């Protein structure tokens, strides 16, 4: 049974901007920091409405993370904003020591993640960020799938005490989750119930999993589709319950195979419920310049790749 | 605590704590710790407004201190304990398994008095600026203090933070650099000469105050008091404080060699002979 409705195409980063703007009005402890990408991160509304709580740090991401950690001392809830590459790889040690190890209530909000950043090329297209962040003890890692869910996640993480990595993207993509749906950190969302295979997807690949599911239905394959918006902590119960029923798995993500969602699910299943598994992800490669659609096709992250992976994994049951 | 004489009584005891702590586990950083003893004693027993008995992470209504060069944890721990943040006897657990007194300071084990982890260098100034901004938002007029090593200034993040503090008029912060001129591989001039730090920080727009005798407690107290009068004028304040690494233990002075080396039994005995037990060993 389908549990989604396509409405319009919107970018997930605007969901973040809308969520942050709402938080600015409802929670006076929320502050925001940006490293010269206010427009790209859609933080303009917050900056305009709450200039005293918005900190433009310039092109100095390490300093931004440190200042954010310091702002928590005094009860503030800082949201940092820059591209995913500069939110993670560039400042890994600052996040590790000043935020994660220090247990600070910083929300690291990262746009332009993955290949769909497009033409800027591999220097900006990080495909390792989920892995980097999920390895940090105590770090919550969230990769919502559309505008509505990104907005809801932004609002939800302000209520959670502790460090969070929130990943979203640049392009407009289908907006299909319920605008009123409450975002529960660590709670997987079943989008389609099925019995033949489970497709676990995250971020932009969730809609592609839905498209794949429709193509599979036409072939007589009944796919269960689950949106894993929280990579860490992983909803292990939801994964195991579904795989006990379907007995085979495809994972889909805009990330390296190493360190991503598929890696987390493979670890869990290897321990608890060994099952045939295929991963739709980037295979140990950097990206390159191109349009988002061209790149997703070239690197094998389209619905057709999910369909192929499903056919393969069902054959391994 | 008021008189310089009373502060001076604490200093040799803190030095004893430092050398005993590192000797006990045959590891740790005595050199920089000994060189900054007068600074820490001045700060925690005279200058800072703080509440040792009821430690609160947010520190609203208090002055805050951030140690950016976390390797000099022995002096930090000794002074925190002697000031009442935790029992003095806990100094005996330094660097031992299950201790709250980790090799480098951390909030992870819930040790009172520590508000951020430090050790990986260059991060403390940014954190302190964040805490200073939170104080401004909270209309809290208390002060944020930091300490940095001079070698630590080779880290780029320091200069990102230095640029920010001036540009955004963070004028409720007093940063101090421990100018002992030494780092692990040798003198700072032999490893990576940094030229005039005064000129550099002034060029970055800081209000820079120099103290050429950071091992004289009266001058340290005076410099910190002067620095306080410079706050609230649109500029962050920097104290460049010359110290002698290993100060108070003659064979540890005038060299970079005691940066991260513990004394043996005989050396410990010598060091203790040079520093009177004034408050009782832990």
Domain count, chain B: 1
pLDDT (average), residues A176-195 = 96
Chain B contact for A93 (CB, 8 A cutoff): yes
- According to the model, what pLDDT value does residue A81 have? 98
Residue B81 has which token pair? 């304990």
Contact (CB, 8 A) for B141 and B171: no
Judge residue A174's burial from the number of C-beta atoms within 10 Å of its C-beta, 0-12 exposed, 13-18 middle, 19 or more buried: buried
CA distance B178 to B241: 5
- According to the model, what pLDDT value does residue B12 have? 98
User: Three-state SS across chain B?
Assistant: CCCHHHHHHHHHHHHHHHHHHHHHHCCCCHHHHHHCHHHHHHHHHHHCCCCCCCCCCCCCCCCEEEECCHHHHHHHHHHHHHHCCCCHHHHHHCCCCCCCCCCCCCCCCCCCCCCCCCCCCCCHHHHHHHHHHHHHHCCCCCCEEEEEECHHHHCHHHHHHHHHHHHCCCCCEEEEEEECCEECCEEHHHHCCCCCHHHHHHHCCCEEEEECCCCCHHHHHHHHHHHHHCCCCCCCEEEEEECCCCCCCHHHCCCCCCCCCCCCHHHHHHHHHCCCCCCCCC
- What is the band of A229 on the pLDDT scale with cuts at 50, 70, 90? very high
Candidates A61, A97, A139: best to mutate against B (most CBs of B within 10 A) is: A97
Chain A contact for B127 (CB, 8 A cutoff): yes
Candidates B69, B107, B113, B127: best to mutate against A (most CBs of A within 10 A) is: B127
- What is the band of A73 on the pLDDT scale with cuts at 50, 70, 90? very high
H or E, element range at A208 = helix A205-218
Average pLDDT, chain A: 97
- What is the band of A296 on the pLDDT scale with cuts at 50, 70, 90? very high
DSSP state of A1: -
Q: Is A66 in Cβ contact with B137 (below 8 Å)?
A: no
In a domain, B279, yes or no: no
CA distance B6 to A68: 39
pLDDT (average), residues A74-100 = 98
- What is the band of A5 on the pLDDT scale with cuts at 50, 70, 90? confident
Tally DSSP H helices, then E strands, for chain A.
12, 14
- Which residue in B39, B11, B10, B18 sits closest to B178, CA to CA? B39
- CB nearest to B164's CB, from A63, A65, A101: A63
Q: Answer whether residue A308 shows pLDDT above 70.
A: yes
Percentage of residues of chain A with pLDDT beyond 70: 99
- According to the model, what pLDDT value does residue A50 have? 98
For CATH 3.40.50.970, the residue range(s) in chain A are: 8-175
Q: What is the pLDDT along chain B (282 residues), one digit of tens a residue?
A: 558 999 999 999 999 999 999 999 999 999 999 999 999 999 999 999 999 999 999 999 999 999 999 999 999 999 999 999 999 999 999 999 999 999 999 999 999 999 999 999 999 999 999 999 999 999 999 999 999 999 999 999 999 999 999 999 999 999 999 999 999 999 999 999 999 999 999 999 999 999 999 999 999 999 999 999 999 999 999 999 999 999 999 999 998 999 999 999 999 999 999 999 999 999
Percentage of residues of chain B with pLDDT beyond 70: 99
In a domain, B282, yes or no: no
Q: Answer whether residue A1 shows pLDDT above 60.
A: no
Which option is the CATH number for A8-175: 3.40.50.970, 1.10.260.40, 3.90.550.10, 3.40.50.1220?
3.40.50.970
Q: Is A2 helix (H, G, I), strand (E, B) or coil?
A: strand
For CATH 3.40.50.920, the residue range(s) in chain A are: 189-315
- CB nearest to B58's CB, from A58, A75, A94: A75
Q: Is B133 in Cβ contact with A63 (below 8 Å)?
A: no
In a domain, B263, yes or no: yes
Q: Is B123 in Cβ contact with A74 (below 8 Å)?
A: no
Instruction: List pLDDT tens digits, range A135-164.
Output: 999 999 999 999 999 999 999 999 999 999
Contact (CB, 8 A) for B105 and B118: yes
Which residue in chain A has the smallest CA separation from B161? A63
Residue A45 has which token pair? 């509304």
**Which residues are paired to A200 by β-bridges?**
A226, A251
Q: Answer whether residue A32 shows pLDDT above 90.
A: yes
DSSP state of A168: -
In a domain, B230, yes or no: yes
Instruction: List pLDDT tens digits, range B228-263.
Output: 999 999 999 999 999 999 999 999 999 899 999 999
- CB nearest to B126's CB, from A58, A67, A76: A67
- Which residue in B106, B235, B105 sits closest to B175, CA to CA? B235
| Residue numbers of the domain that contains B99 | 4-273
- According to the model, what pLDDT value does residue A310 have? 98
Chain A contact for B60 (CB, 8 A cutoff): yes
Write the CATH number of the domain with boundaries A189-315: 3.40.50.920
Percentage of residues of chain A with pLDDT beyond 90: 98
Instruction: List pLDDT tens digits, range B18-56.
Output: 999 999 999 999 999 999 999 999 999 999 999 999 999
- According to the model, what pLDDT value does residue B1 have? 59
In CATH, what number is assigned to the domain containing residue B222?
A: 3.40.50.970
Q: Is A197 helix (H, G, I), strand (E, B) or coil?
A: strand
H or E, element range at A250 = strand A249-256
Chain B contact for A75 (CB, 8 A cutoff): yes
Q: Are strands B173-179 and B144-149 parallel, antiparallel or unpaired?
A: parallel
CA distance B166 to B17: 38
- According to the model, what pLDDT value does residue B3 have? 82
Which residue in chain A has the smallest CA separation from B164? A57
């Amino acid at each position: 049974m389908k549990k989604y409705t396509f409405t319009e195409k919107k970018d997930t980063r605007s969901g973040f901007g809308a969520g942050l703007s709402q938080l600015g009005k409802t929670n006076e402890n929320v502050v925001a920091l940006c490293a010269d990408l206010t427009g790209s991160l859609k933080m303009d509304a917050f900056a305009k409405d709450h200039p005293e709580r918005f900190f433009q740090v310039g092109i100095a991401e390490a300093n931004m993370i440190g200042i954010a950690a310091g702002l928590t001392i005094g009860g503030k809830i800082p949201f940092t904003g820059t591209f995913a590459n500069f939110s993670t790889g560039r400042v890994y040690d600052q996040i590790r020591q000043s935020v994660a190890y220090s247990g600070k209530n910083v929300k690291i909000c990262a746009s332009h993640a993955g290949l769909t950043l497009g033409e800027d090329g591999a220097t900006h297209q990080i495909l390792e960020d989920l892995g980097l962040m999920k390895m940090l003890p105590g770090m919550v890692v969230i990769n919502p799938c559309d505008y509505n869910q990104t907005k809801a996640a932004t609002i939800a993480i302000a209520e959670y005490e502790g460090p969070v990595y929130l990943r979203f993207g640049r392009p407009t993509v289908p907006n299909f989750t319920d605008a009123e749906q409450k975002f529960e950190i660590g709670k997987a969302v079943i989008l389609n119930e099925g019995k033949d295979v489970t497709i676990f997807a995250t971020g932009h690949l969730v809609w592609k999993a839905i498209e794949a599911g429709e193509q599979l239905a036409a072939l007589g394959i009944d796919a269960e589709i689950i949106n894993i918006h929280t990579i860490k902590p992983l909803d292990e119960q939801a994964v195991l319950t579904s795989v006990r029923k379907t007995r085979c798995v495809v994972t889909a993500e805009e990330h390296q195979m190493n360190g991503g969602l598929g890696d987390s699910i493979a670890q869990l299943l290897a321990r608890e419920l060994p099952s045939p598994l295929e991963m739709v992800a980037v295979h140990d490669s950097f990206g390159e310049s191109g349009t988002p659609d061209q790149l997703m096709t070239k690197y094998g992250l389209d619905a057709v790749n999910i369909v192929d992976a499903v056919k393969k994994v069902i054959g391994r049951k | 605590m008021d008189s310089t004489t009373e502060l001076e009584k604490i200093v040799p005891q803190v030095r004893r704590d430092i050398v005993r702590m590192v000797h006990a586990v045959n590891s740790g950083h005595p050199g920089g710790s000994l060189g900054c003893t007068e600074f820490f004693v001045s700060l925690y027993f005279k200058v800072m407004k703080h509440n040792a008995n009821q430690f609160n992470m947010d520190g609203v209504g208090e002055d805050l201190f951030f140690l950016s060069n976390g390797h000099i944890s022995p002096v930090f721990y000794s002074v925190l304990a002697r000031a009442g943040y935790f029992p003095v006897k806990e100094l005996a657990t330094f660097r031992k398994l299950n201790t709250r007194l980790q090799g480098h300071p951390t909030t992870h084990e819930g040790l009172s008095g520590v508000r951020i982890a430090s050790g990986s260098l260059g991060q403390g100034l940014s954190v302190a600026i964040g805490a200073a901004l939170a104080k401004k938002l909270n209309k809290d007029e208390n002060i944020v203090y930091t300490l940095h090593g001079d070698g630590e200034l080779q880290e780029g993040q320091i200069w990102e933070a230095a640029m920010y503090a001036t540009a955004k008029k963070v004028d409720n912060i007093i940063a101090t650099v421990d100018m002992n001129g030494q780092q692990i591989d040798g003198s700072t001039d032999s490893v990576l000469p940094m030229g005039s730090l005064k000129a550099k920080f002034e060029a970055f727009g800081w209000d820079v105050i120099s103290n050429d005798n950071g091992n004289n407690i009266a001058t340290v107290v005076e410099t910190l008091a002067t620095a306080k009068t410079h706050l609230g004028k649109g500029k962050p304040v920097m104290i460049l404080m010359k110290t002698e690494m290993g100060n108070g233990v003659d064979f540890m002075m005038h060299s970079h060699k005691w940066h991260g080396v513990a004394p043996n039994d005989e050396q410990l005995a010598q060091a203790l002979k040079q520093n009177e037990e004034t408050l009782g060993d832990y």
